[in-house]
Amino acid sequence: MPELPEVEHLRRTLEPLLLDRRVARVQVRRADVVRAAGGGTAPARGRPAGLLAGRRITELRRRGKYLAIVAAGGPVLLVHLGMSGQLLFLPPGRQAPRRDHVHVIWRFDDERGGRMIFRDPRRFGRLTLIDSVASLEEFWRQRLGPDALVLRAGDLAEAFGATRRSIKCALLDQAVAAGIGNIYADESLFRAGIHPMTPAGALTRTEARRLAESIRATLSAAIRAGGTTLRDYRDGAGRNGGHRPNLCVYGRAGLPCRRCGSILGDLRLAQRTTTYCPRCQRNWLSTTHPHPGGG
DNA sequence: CCGGACTCCTGTGCGC
DNA sequence: TGCGCACAGGAGTCCG
């Protein structure tokens, strides 16, 4: 489930544990989680050019759901957690809570010691080695829209144009805004009072403004709570996120809306379960084509 | 341009 | 207890 808030919280918890430290050596136990920028059959596969071995970490950056571990002199380890990926720092002597599906281990041999592990049962996650920060920015620029945490209404209007695709599908498109996944798409649309099937290009200026505000507020609140743990998510120190009890719609189909008490409905959009409040999120179909005597 | 199906994986929970 | 199935936080590709 790692979406923007989980990756940002991970970044914040890992940064003090990694910053200014030199990676002593790297053990790759499953080479197929490693890629090189620019292609799936890249030569780095299986021989990941060290994955920062011998390098000093200078910075942890994030854009959308990507986490970039930047080393002195240029190389960048780009991490995408997919559905079940975890990056976990283990102090000296500490065992991983689970030792299965650990694919990569970075060891530190300075006086603080310890190691970082990449664990990913489903293996949808990817580690990508990129040669420089400039290449990283280019990689991101090609794939990602503006970071959803600082998204503005104008960004949405520009990305949507006159498209008739549903707003829910558009929000899941990382080229529209980077970092929103299934949980926070539903939560943001609920907060904005917008039905998930509304054509994205049909949003009014007011709705776009309210949606951008709702996205920022939804993501910020989730970061403050340390992210949402459904099953696999842990932060850099192995802690669960605390945001799950705050969710208004995700995972609550059939339960009463926290705002109005109506029973939350669900539908399937882009193969993703979509939960919404039929009252708080006005159905654009019924308002666009009102039934005689209705509404 | 778009929605939808399908793919990559493992784990879990449910109905039977 | 076991089995088969649907489904899960992501995202790329292909097809119509």
Express each pLDDT in A163-172 by its tens digit: 999 999 999 9
Contact flag, residue A218 CB and nucleic strand C, below 7 A = no
> Which pLDDT value is given to residue A88?
97
Rounded to an integer, what distance in angstroms lies between the CA atom of residue A242 and that of residue A227? 6
Rounded to an integer, what distance in angstroms lies between the CA atom of residue A10 and that of residue A236? 5
A114's tokens? 């310890």
Annotated active-site residue A207? The verdict is no
* pLDDT, mean of residues A131-146: 95
> Which pLDDT value is given to residue A282?
85
Please report which confidence band the pLDDT of residue A288 belongs to, taking 50, 70 and 90 as the band edges. Answer: very low
Helical segments of A88-245, H only = 133-143, 153-160, 167-172, 182-192, 205-224
- On strand B, nucleotides with any atom < 7 Å from a protein CB are 1-12
Q: In the structure, how many helices (H) and strands (E) does chain A have?
A: 7, 11
Nucleotide nearest to A40 (CA to C1'): C12
Is residue A47 over pLDDT 90?
A: no
pLDDT higher at A291 or A83:
A83
> Which pLDDT value is given to residue A49?
64
> Which pLDDT value is given to residue A289?
39
Rounded to an integer, what distance in angstroms lies between the CA atom of residue A49 and that of residue A56? 15
Annotated active-site residue A121? The verdict is no
Is residue A287 over pLDDT 80?
A: no
- Distances in Å between the alpha carbon of A105 and those of A24, A246, A281? 11, 34, 46
A157's tokens? 């209007």
Sequence-distant (≥ 6) Cβ neighbours of residue A198 within 8 angstroms: A166, A167, A284
Is residue A117 over pLDDT 60?
A: yes
Contact flag, residue A164 CB and nucleic strand C, below 7 A = no
Q: What is the dihedral of CA A171, A173, A178, A182, to 10 degrees?
A: 60
Q: What ranges make up the beta strands (E) of chain A?
A: 25-28, 34-36, 57-63, 66-71, 76-80, 86-90, 102-107, 115-119, 126-130, 265-269, 272-276
Mean pLDDT of chain A: 91
* pLDDT, mean of residues A20-35: 95
Contact flag, residue A175 CB and nucleic strand B, below 7 A = no
For residue A263, give the 3-state DSSP assignment. Answer: strand
Annotated active-site residue A65? The verdict is yes
Rounded to an integer, what distance in angstroms lies between the CA atom of residue A188 and that of residue A206? 15
Is residue A286 over pLDDT 90?
A: no
Active-site position among A62, A63, A65, A119 = A65
Location of structure tokens 């609920």: A190
